[in-house]
Structure 1
Amino acid sequence: MSKHKNSTTAFRVALGGICAAVCLLLMFSSSFLPGLSYAIPVFAGVLMVVMIVETDSKWAIADYCAVSLLCIFITPNFEASLLFILFMGYYPILQFWLSKKKSKLFQWAVKLAVFNVAIVIYYNLFKFIFVSVDMLEGTEFLGKYALPLLWAEAQICFLVYDKFLSLTIDVYINWFRKKILRRK
């Protein structure tokens, strides 16, 4: 049974369908808004917060898996799809789960490990799928420091993203649910 006593299976299925549909709509929109290839997977992933708060982690993971699978077939922007599948889609669920753990050291060790593994997989898959595109194009002036500097920049972006996600979860739980949805 879900942690919410009044959360029926029908409600969970309907909410999962709505979240999945909005995620897919967002992911599809990345094909005609290519400048938002990095931002759209972030916003789609935030919808997993709704799933985990209103149902539980099992339903949120099922929704993530469904959206990830459908992204492969529906979304023409493979770069955005890869970002969603490899990190942005499941990280909100992971972060919500980690926030329940007492040890901040454990939380950050897991967060950074997951992020860095995802980034390495993303980089290698990107090079494999998009052979004609060089991710380091435009960084030639940095020479051998290009990759380490981009790696450091990615770490900073991750810290900003993690803080954004924490604030989003807090706003959803402590303001939106109480004021708009009138749930406790």
Structure 2
Amino acid sequence: MGRARFGKGAGQIALVGVLAALSLIVLYLSAVSPAAQLGIVAIAGVFPAGAVVSAGLGAGFFCYGAAGLLGLLLVPDKANALLYLLFFGLWPMLKSLLERLPSRPAEWAGKLAAFNAVLTLCWFGLKALFLPFLPSALTAAWMVYAAGNVAFVIYDIGFSKLIAFYVARVDKVLRKAS
């Protein structure tokens, strides 16, 4: 992930604009959904990954920034927009950068450090906003970190598989069309 495959110019700008709009739509759906809001915010983070794969790292940051800032302005549930900005929207670019590290242990150490930094910010700084849904059994910080890290590893592995699917199916079609 990270090499631009889509041509430069208007086509690339249009692709990134469409991906940012799709990300914003899914982010809005997370705010009006009665359940699975965290999962829907995670899905909104898939679109910047498409921008990174098809148009490069800069395009991914642009897609993320546009959807995130518009999300703060337009999405009724600001916590979802903030969660997108703090982690799910930013993750595709961080993942791309961290997967360039020369060793697998360094890559995973960086990924876990990034996730735990965001989790720490949410736990200590924004707990009332982000973590009110936690069951009473998970009120101890060590339990939140343990469960969070397991969930993150599963999320990252699944996200990698989703990116591989995008490269094989969607990006392939986009390259033929450009």
Q: Is TM > 0.5 for Structure 1 vs Structure 2?
A: yes
Which structure 1 residue ranges, 5 or more long, are not aligned? none
Q: How far off is 1:182 after superposition? A: 5.8
Correspondence for 1:171: 165
- Asked whether 1:27 is paired with 2:21, we answer no
Distance 1:57 1:117 in 2: 22
Q: How far off is 1:70 after superposition? A: 1.0
Q: How far off is 1:138 after superposition? A: 4.1
TM-score, normalisation: structure 1 = 0.83
TM-score, normalisation: structure 2 = 0.86
The one of the two structures with greater contact order (alpha-carbon pairs below 8 A, sep at least 6) is 2
> Structure 1 counterpart of 2:12, which letter?
R
Structure having the higher Rg: 1
Q: Secondary structure at the match of 1:22?
A: helix
- Asked whether 1:160 is paired with 2:157, we answer no
Superposition misfits of 4+ residues, deviation over 6 angstroms:
none
Aligned residues: 174
Q: Is the 8 A contact 2:123 2:131 kept in 1?
A: no
Correspondence for 1:41: 41
Q: Is the 8 A contact 1:15 1:51 kept in 2?
A: yes
Which structure 2 residue ranges, 5 or more long, are not aligned? none
Distance 1:10 1:76 in 2: 32
Q: Is the 8 A contact 1:45 1:89 kept in 2?
A: yes
Deviations 1:76-131 (A, max 9, x none): 11222122111111111221232233211211111011100111112334336x4x
Of 112, 132, 150, the residue aligned with 1:135 is: 132
Q: Is the 8 A contact 2:87 2:118 kept in 1?
A: yes
Q: Evaluate the alpha carbon distance shift between residue 138 and residue 58 of structure 1 in structure 2; reply closer, same or farther with a 3 A threshold.
A: closer
> Structure 1 counterpart of 2:19, which letter?
C
Correspondence for 1:150: 144
